[in-house]
Amino acid sequence: MKNNEYPYQGTTLNGFAMLFLNLALTIGAIVLLVLSIDQESWQLGVGCALAFILSLFLWPGFIMLEPGEARVVMFFGKYVGTFTRTGYYWINPFTSTKKLSLRARNLDAEPIKVNDKEGNPVMIGLVLVWRLKDTYKALFEIDSQTMAANNAQVGTDVKSMMAAFERFVRVQSDAALRQVAGQYAYDDTETHSSDITLRSGGEEINDQLEQKLTERLAMAGIEVVEARINYLAYAPEIAAVMLRRQQATAIIAAREKIVEGAVSMVKMALDQLQEQDIVRLDDEKKAQMVSNLLVVLCGEDNAQPIVNTGSI
């Protein structure tokens, strides 16, 4: 993709030196004005006027930049570069500039309701770290006015400009989050038991979310530093039903484990009784013993022992 941003290459002078020069011109203009009145000299009056006009010409050229800031410079509507040098400088006063912040910004999006791959409504939210990377795209390839809240005018100060970009990022983050969430199921199901889910996807889901955000925000010259899902839950209207479903799944899994262990213990008991020749059991007695042991081992309540005083 073509990068139209380039550094400002115009005349750049030290701001403090030009400030002292401009103050000297202002003081000189005042001195010439006094002398022209005192001596009634029109030549001194002309010199006073020229010094004053030159002083007024120099004042608009002063700019100051802090670390993490940039100024987009335009000459009668034409883009002539981006100024990023930190400090106090003087540039062509006929140029106009717009200040932008290049510092990282954080977006903690409120959870939104989306439908997952199975059609279940879920609540999902994200946290995003972003910053401006291409100032040309940010100012000239998207309309910042359409990003203003309630059709308010976007000012030229850095605060209002960055507020407009924040609204753009919020809208695109919402769209990217809906797109990613709709591709996966919330949790494992019988039909998609081996697929990646929103709950188990982890870094893979976050990487795909970051990729989608990068694609959407690149048009505005915005770089995605990091994107992570920070909230995930079923929507309130189905949360109770899904909780019972999860509980049932957990109970079934636990029962399967208990039965597997009980069968193993019963087999071990029968084998040891036979190997050590402690007692000989026919098939009917074995079936009765297996039944009793399974009831004891698989039951939820403690078994009440009954002493057998008769024959086995």
Residue-wise pLDDT tens digits, 230-268: 888 887 776 566 666 666 666 667 777 777 777 788 778
Asked if residues 181 and 214 have their Cβ atoms less than 8 Å apart, the reply is no
Q: Is the dihedral of CA 265, 267, 272, 274 positive or negative?
A: positive
Q: What is the mean pLDDT of the chain?
A: 80
Q: According to DSSP H, which parts of the chain are helical?
A: 15-39, 42-58, 135-140, 158-181, 203-217, 236-275, 283-298
Of the pLDDT bands very low, low, confident and very high (cuts 50, 70, 90), residue 62 is very high
pLDDT for 83 equals: 94
Stretch 96-103: mean pLDDT, rounded? Answer: 91
Q: What share of the chain is helix, strand, coil (3-state, %, to 5)?
A: 50, 20, 30
State residue 191's pLDDT score. 52
Does the structure show a pLDDT above 60 at 193? no
- Tokens 């591709």 belong to 183
The predicted structure's pLDDT at residue 256: 76
Angle at 124 between CA 190 and CA 254, to 5 degrees: 35
Q: What is the spatial distance between Cα 239 and Cα 287, in angstroms, rounded to a whole number? A: 45
